[in-house]
Amino acid sequence: MKNVLENMSACLEKHKLAKPIEFVNEPDCVQAFQAIFPEILFSQPYFRKVCSDIYRIVVDNKLKEPSELYLRRFYESIKLFLFGIILPSDYADDYPIHSAIYKSDVEQVRKMCEGTQTNCFFVHIEQGDPMGISPLLLAIKLGNQDIVSILTAHGADPRHKVVPKSKYPMEEAMYTKNKEIIKAMLMSTYQLRLNKWEKTKESVLNFLEKVPDFSFELQWECDSNFIPFVSKLAPSDTNKIYKKGTSLRMDATIAGINKLKVTRGNISLFLLGKEHPGYEGKILLVNHGKKTITDLMTEIDLKHLEKQVDLIAKQSSLPSEVKPEDIQFEPAKSWRGEPITEKIQNYQTVKYNAKGTLSLLYTKKVNDEIDKFGSYEAYFESTFPMRYWAPTSFDSKISDW
């Protein structure tokens, strides 16, 4: 960001503008700035964000010199942007990608995702509108497969929700029963997970290299103070975990969970370390009963993918959030009230019990009829009664100008 601001200052100093830049709307302003600043600056999101905020200040203020209030808001907006936070806006023009999606302008959405758009300065692929609907969620609600594919291809996250009360794009895809959209969601989720692992696996293996070898058992179960026999009905398991060198292994007997229904099996999860040249960072799932090995970090198995699509399309609800709460670790004690200790591989260990609450939230389809409006502007106006931010004292000060 510092380099961007310095380059902008150098360009302005070089041009020594004889008269103020004049423009009618944002596309005019973009063209005027393109005559001053080089293309290499326009290719940087930071630069476009700064220009977007400058444009909005000028449009809002309608003064020759921006006030201290607006300069402070500009500073706060840029600072939050550096942490991945986009301030909400009351202006429909500040959501150009939502507008293009609502109008089914596929080429404009593509240009915005590529950063080659010329009718606006800045778009954020995960920015929520006043109701907390992201571009990907809006495209799914409107059933536009082409735009969904473009957004996911450029990194839109199917597991991203703008605000807690909104739905995940993957949830909305399940509600549509559109198998092509569901497939795009699954493929995007896999690719994002793979990209994240590629960036972190080296640091994980280096960390494991420094840790002494170990093995232990982790026994867990669900219980309730209000509902009897939950521990008998709910999932439970004993996981055996081993670490040697930079490799890990975990054995389990739960092959899958659907609500409280458990599918039992005999499975092992392996993380191959540096002891396996050419296979470092591979994550393998071994099903001993079926005698199969699945590489979780390879290309998608299209046959398995189709089965997943069919399964999701038949479901009426998905677990949208698993939330652990009030997790506490307490030393396990014997009947005498003494801590339980055990010597494992020359280590004197103390047994701990972990207790807490695990909430599994399921959501149902809500018919919001988002495509019933005649224009994007009408849709945008409809979002304000349900907007996810409240007017602040800062907003009231601005409205007084």
Spell out the residues 6+ positions from residue 171 whose beta carbon is closer than 8 angstroms to its own.
318, 320, 363
Spell out the residues 6+ positions from residue 108 whose beta carbon is closer than 8 angstroms to its own.
100, 117, 119
The CATH-assigned architecture of domain 92-167+367-399 is Alpha Horseshoe (1.25)
- CB 349 within 8 Å of CB 343: yes
Please tell me the predicted confidence (pLDDT) of residue 259.
57
Residues in the chain, total? 401
Name the packing angle between helices 302-314 and 179-210 (round to 10°): 120
Distance CA 269, CA 250 (A): 5
Distance CA 91, CA 377 (A): 10
Distance CA 309, CA 45 (A): 35
Spell out the residues 6+ positions from residue 264 whose beta carbon is closer than 8 angstroms to its own.
253, 254, 255
Which two three-digit tokens encode residue 280?
């470092």
Spell out the residues 6+ positions from residue 245 whose beta carbon is closer than 8 angstroms to its own.
208, 209, 213, 273, 274, 275
Spell out the residues 6+ positions from residue 342 whose beta carbon is closer than 8 angstroms to its own.
349, 351
Nearest alpha carbon to residue 158 among 113, 122, 193, 131: 193
- CATH 1.25.40 occupies which residues in the chain? 92-167+367-399
Please tell me the predicted confidence (pLDDT) of residue 114.
86
- CB 296 within 8 Å of CB 193: no
- Note down pLDDT in tens along the chain; length 401 residues: 778 888 888 888 887 776 777 888 888 888 888 888 888 888 888 888 888 888 887 777 655 566 677 777 778 888 888 877 777 777 888 899 999 999 999 999 999 888 787 788 888 888 888 888 999 999 999 999 999 999 999 989 998 888 777 778 888 888 888 899 999 988 888 888 888 888 899 999 999 999 999 888 888 777 766 666 666 667 788 899 999 999 999 999 887 666 557 778 899 999 999 999 989 999 999 999 888 888 887 766 667 788 888 888 777 665 555 667 778 888 888 888 888 888 776 778 888 887 777 666 655 555 467 777 888 888 888 887 777 665 443 343 333 33
Strand order in the sheet with 247-258: 214-221, 236-244, 247-258, 261-271, 283-287, 292-295
Please tell me the predicted confidence (pLDDT) of residue 244.
93
Which two three-digit tokens encode residue 2?
């510092």
DSSP H/E element including 394: helix 393-399
Please tell me the predicted confidence (pLDDT) of residue 56.
81
Nearest alpha carbon to residue 252 among 208, 218, 277, 282: 218
